Amino acid sequence: MTPPRNSNAVRDIANVLHPYTDHRAHAVNGPLVISRGEGVRVFDDQGKEYIEAMAGLWCASLGFDNKRLVDAAYRQMQKLPFYHGFTAKSHEPMIDLAEMLIERAPVPMSKVFFANSGSEANDTAVKMIWYANNAMGRPDKKKIIGRLKGYHGITIASGSITGLPANHKMFDLPVSDRFIHVSTPHHYHGANPGESEEDFATRLAEELDQVIQREGPETVAAFFAEPAMGAGGVIVPPATYFEKVQAVLKKHDVLFVADEVICGFGRTGSYWGSQTFGITPDILVCAKALSASFLPISAVMVNDRVFQALADGSATIGTWGHGFTYSGHPVPAAVAVETLKIYDEMDIVGHAKRVGGHMQKTLRARFADHPLVGEIRGIGLVAAMELVADKATHRNFDPGAKVGPRLAKLAEGEGVIMRAMVNDSMGFSPPLIITEAEVDEMIARVGRALDALTVQLRRESIALV
C-alpha cells in the first residue's frame, strides 16, 4: 500500500538512507515510524502499540521513558553541555563514570577509554592492540581472530572482525589478511552426530590452536568474542568452551577481548557476560545498556599490561594519537552514571536473572514442540527461536522464502517488534525492566503471529506441517 501524500512515510522515503535496509523494498513499503515510548512499549505515528521484544537494538535496558535519565541529561546540559578529553582535559562525569566502571569490572582493569558506539569501541580496541604490540617491540604480532557469525560492529576494523556475510559483501571486507575467522560455537548446527557439548568445545579449541600455530603465534595478537553471540543468532557457547579457548590463548600469549556490548549490565543474568561464562578478558568493550541507550556512549576497559604498553608508546611519540571529539562527552557520561546508579538500586542483575529464567522457560514450553521451531536457545533476558524446514535434520528454510522476516512482519501486526537474524533465528532481548506478565503477553503475541505464519506456509507448500 502506497503511503498517503505528505505523511511521515513519504518524507522518510524521499530523504532518509536507513541502516540495514533493502532500499528498493523500502521505497515501496516505507518505514514503521515510531513516535513515542512508555516502559517496554513503543507507539507508532498512527497510535498503534507494540511490545519492543528487542529493546530497540538490544539496548533500551530501562525501557523507553525514564525521568531520572532525562533529568540527569538536562542538569548536565545546564552545567557543562560539552567538553573533551584531549590533551589531558577532563570533567567530572567522565571521571565518575570511569571510576564506576573500574569498580564494577569483572576482573581488575586499569583505565577506561570512551567512544560513542560499540563499533567505535571495538575499532579502538584493535588500534590499542596494534599500538601496544609496537610499543612492546612485537611489530609482527598484529593478527586478529574473530568467529564466524560473530558481530563486533561495522567500521572498517570492527566490520572485518565481524563474521557475517552481509557485513562483508560489497564492502571489500575483511580489509586485510590480518583478520581471521574460526568456527561458530553453535552445537545445534556445528556438532558432529553424537558429539557432546564438551567434545564440541574441545574440537573448537583445537581448531583455534591449529589456526594460531598455522599463522605463527608471533603474528597473532588478539581474539575477539561476545560471551553470547547476538546478531549472529543468540548463540550460547557449549559447556567448557571459554575455559578451553582461554587456555589456548594463554599458551600463545594472545589477548582476549570480551565484547560485552550486548551482554553487559545484566543481560545474561550476571552483571557481565564474562562472569556468566568464566571469561577473564584483557580488554572489555561495552556500550548500549551503559546509558540505557538514552544517549550514545561506549567504553573500552584495559588491564594494566595493555595500559602500560600504551603509556610507553605515548611517551615515545609524545601522544597517544587516538580519540573522538565526543569521547566521554559530559552529557552521555552523566546519563550513564545515573544509569549505573539505577541498576544498583533496582538490583538489575537479580531482576534479569529472575525474569530471564521465566522467559527462557516460557519460550520453551510454548514453542519447543512447534513444527516450525528447531531450537530455542538463550540465557537470562536474551534468546532466539530458530525456524527450520525440517526439525529432524535441522535444515533451514531457503533464504529466498524470507520466513523469518515474514514472521517479524506478522508479529508487528500482533503488536510486538522482533528481529529476524541468521537462519531465520528470531531474537528476544526485551528491556531489562520487563515483568513476567509482560513476558507472557509478548510470547502470546508472538504465538499468534507464528500460528498465522504456519497457515501461510502450508498454503504456499513451503512447509508441510
> pLDDT at position 305, please?
98
Rounded to whole angstroms, the Cα distance separating 1 from 8 reads 14
Taking CA atoms, 428 is separated from 267, 379, 408, in Å, by: 11, 11, 12
Q: What is the pLDDT of residue 277?
A: 98
What pLDDT does residue 463 have? 65
Residues with Cβ within 8 Å of 323's Cβ and at least 6 positions away in sequence, in order, are 85, 86
Secondary structure (3-state) at 9: helix
Q: What pLDDT sits at residue 1?
A: 46
**Residue 212, CA distances (Å) to 118, 141, 149, 411, 412 in order:** 26, 11, 19, 44, 45
The pLDDT of residue 462 is: 86
pLDDT tens sequence for the chain (465 residues): 455 555 899 999 999 999 999 999 999 999 999 999 999 999 999 999 999 999 999 999 999 999 999 999 999 999 999 999 999 999 999 999 999 999 999 999 999 999 999 999 999 999 999 999 999 999 999 999 999 999 999 999 999 999 999 999 999 999 999 999 999 999 999 999 999 999 999 999 999 999 999 999 999 999 999 999 999 999 999 999 999 999 999 999 999 999 999 999 999 999 999 999 999 999 999 999 999 999 999 999 999 999 999 999 999 999 999 999 999 999 999 999 999 999 999 999 999 999 999 999 999 999 999 999 999 999 999 999 999 999 999 999 999 999 999 999 999 999 999 999 999 999 999 999 999 999 999 999 999 999 999 999 999 988 655
Q: Give 32-65+348-459's CATH code, choosing from 3.90.1150.10, 3.30.413.10, 1.20.1290.10, 3.40.47.10.
A: 3.90.1150.10
Tell me what pLDDT residue 36 has. Answer: 98
Pick the CATH number of 68-346 from 3.40.190.10, 3.40.640.10, 3.40.50.620, 3.10.20.600: 3.40.640.10
Cα–Cα distance for residue pair 18/202, rounded to 1 Å: 41
Grid coordinates belonging to 197 = 557439548
- Domain limits, the chain: 32-65+348-459, 68-346
Cβ atoms of 449 and 415 closer than 8 Å: no
CA-based Rg of the chain, rounded to a whole angstrom? Answer: 22
pLDDT at residue 465, rounded to an integer: 54
DSSP 2: P
Which bin fits 288, alpha (ψ -120 to 50), beta or left (φ > 0)? Answer: left
| Angle at CA of residue 328, ends 58 and 100, nearest 5° | 75
Q: Closest Cα to residue 446, out of 427, 422, 433?
A: 427
**Which amino acid makes up residue 280?**
T
Residue 192: the pLDDT is 97
Cβ burial 113-147 (10 Å sphere, 16+ → b, else e)? bbbbbbbbbbbbbbebbbbbbbbeeeeebbbbbbb
